[in-house]
Amino acid sequence: EKGGYDHFMLKEIYEQPKSIKDTMRGRIHLDKGLIALGGIRDYERALANARRIIFVACGTSWHAGLVAEYLFEELTRIPVEVEYASEFRYRNPIIYDDDIVIAISQSGETADTLAALEIAKQKGATTLGICNVVGSTISRVTDAGAYTHAGPEIGVASTKAFTAQVTVATLMALHIAHFKGSINTSQFNRYLFEFQSIPDKVERVLEKAAESKVIAEIYKDATNALFLGRGINFPVALEGALKLKEISYIHAEGYPAAEMKHGPIALIDENMPVFVIANQGPSYKKVVSNIEEVKARSGKVIAIVTEGDKDVKDMADYSFEVPECDELFTPLLTVVPLQLISYHVAVMRGCNVDQPRNLAKSVTVE
Residue ranges in contact with ligand F6R by CB under 6 A: 58-61, 105-107, 110, 113, 157-158, 242, 246, 362-363
Q: How far is the CB of 110 from ligand F6R (least distance, A)?
A: 3
Q: How far is the CB of 274 from ligand F6R (least distance, A)?
A: 22
Long-range contact pairs involving 115-120 (C-beta distance under 8 Å, separation at least 24): 115/85, 115/89, 115/366, 116/56, 116/83, 116/85, 116/86, 116/88, 116/89, 117/56, 117/141, 117/142, 119/88, 119/89, 119/93, 119/95, 120/54, 120/56, 120/95
Give whichever of 58 and 328 is closer to ligand F6R, judged by the CB atom: 58
Inter-residue contact 307 to 287 (CB < 8 Å): no
Give whichever of 19 and 60 is closer to ligand F6R, judged by the CB atom: 60
Catalytic, out of 123, 208, 313, 361? 361
Q: Considering only CA atoms, which of 21, 22, 2 is closest in space to residue 12?
A: 2
Give whichever of 24 and 241 is closer to ligand F6R, judged by the CB atom: 241
Residue nearest to ligand F6R (CB): 59
Q: How far apart are CA 314 and CA 222, in angstroms?
A: 23
Q: Please state the separation of Cα 20 from the chain's center in Å.
A: 13
Residue-by-residue DSSP string for 37-49? -GGGGGGHHHHHT
Give whichever of 37 and 156 is closer to ligand F6R, judged by the CB atom: 156
Residue-by-residue DSSP string for 174-185? HHHHHHHTSS-H
Q: How far is the CB of 351 from ligand F6R (least distance, A)?
A: 14
Give whichever of 155 and 281 is closer to ligand F6R, judged by the CB atom: 155
| 220 flagged as catalytic | no
Q: Look up residue 287 and give its DSSP letter.
A: H
Q: How far is the CB of 287 from ligand F6R (least distance, A)?
A: 25
- Annotated catalytic residues are 361
